[in-house]
Amino acid sequence: MAGKMTLYKLVVLGDGGVGKTALTIQLCLNHFVETYDPTIEDSYRKQVQIDGQSCMLEVLDTAGQEEYTALRDQWIRDGEGFVLVYSISSRSSFARIQKFHNQIQRVKESSQSGSPTYPGSPLSASSLSSGMWGPAPVMLVGNKCDRVTEREVSTQEGHALAKELGCEFVEASAKNCINVEKAFYDVVRQLRRQKQSYSGRSDRGGTRYSEKHHNSRSNNHRDHDYYDNRHRNSGHRSKNKSPRCVIL
């Protein structure tokens, strides 16, 4: 239908300092963030074309620290697909991937008997209770592949872990913009295939996103249409606005 597109909610998870924010900003704003500024929760939106079909990505960049485990449950509950990130130059961040993956499984399994957490979710109560959708799509990303001399995790280890977890794998570099789009777009492709496989319908998953609704919202909330940092730790950042980046 004209004026509407599909909204996909993706959540970026991983240890602190692995480049989750750098990957997200490179995808949404097309530039590389040099400095590390710990995130709690930042949300971005970008309209993209994937395999010839326009859609809206909502990407939630999250905190990797242990103290945010409870918040992470809610982030996972709201997400449709997940980008699990470690740094190839950090063995410890690679070791923690299993914990993040286990948390995704735990939260999604525990919510299968409940209702979707946002209006229009393709994960309806009936489909969840019947188990028809299968596991949430996950992409494992070995970030900072440009740091060749600092590598602590081999490409083979990344592939092996992805096989163990039953997910896809790619090495990427936010700095050099290597495989950044692939890391996110392939999750959307998984979501589309998953819904097509289980529903047999022509529509391709995700939430229907109305451009008309977005434009109306933009006129009333222009200051919310671009990235701000309500949830970041730096004191000089805004504490009143919902963090969001919309690229059309």
Q: Which pLDDT tens digit goes with each residue over 142-157?
A: 999 999 999 999 999 9
Quick one: 76 exposed, middle or buried, by C-beta within 10 A (0-12, 13-18, 19+)? Answer: buried
Higher pLDDT, 37 or 136: 136
**Other beta carbons less than 10 A from residue 31's beta carbon:** 11
Instruction: Please state the rounded mean pLDDT for residues 156-161.
Output: 99
The fraction of the chain above a pLDDT of 70, given in percent, is: 69
Residue 70: φ, ψ to 5°: -65, -45
User: What's the pLDDT score for residue 241?
Assistant: 40
Considering only residues 230 and 165, tell me which one the structure prediction assigns the higher pLDDT. Answer: 165
When pLDDT is averaged across residues 221-242 and rounded to a whole number, the result is: 39
**Rounded mean pLDDT of 95-120?**
78
Residue pair 174/205 in contact by the 8 Å Cβ criterion: no
Mean pLDDT score of the chain: 79
Of the listed ranges 70-74, 111-115, 151-155, the least confidently predicted one is 111-115
Report whether pLDDT(99) > 60: yes
Output the pLDDT for position 235.
38
Q: For residue 88, what are the contacts with CB-CB under 8 A and spacing of at least 6? A: 94, 142, 143, 144, 145, 147, 150, 151, 152, 153, 158, 171
pLDDT band at 35 (very low <50, low <70, confident <90, very high): confident
CATH number for the 4-49+65-223+241-247 domain, one of 3.40.50.300, 3.30.465.10, 3.20.20.10, 3.30.1360.10? 3.40.50.300
* Partners of 45 in beta bridges: 58, 246
In the structure, what pLDDT confidence band is assigned to residue 164 with cuts at 50, 70 and 90?
very high
Task: Give residue 122's pLDDT.
Answer: 47
Vertex 104: Cα angle to 99 and 106 (nearest 5): 90
Look at residue 223 in the predicted model and tell me its pLDDT: 34
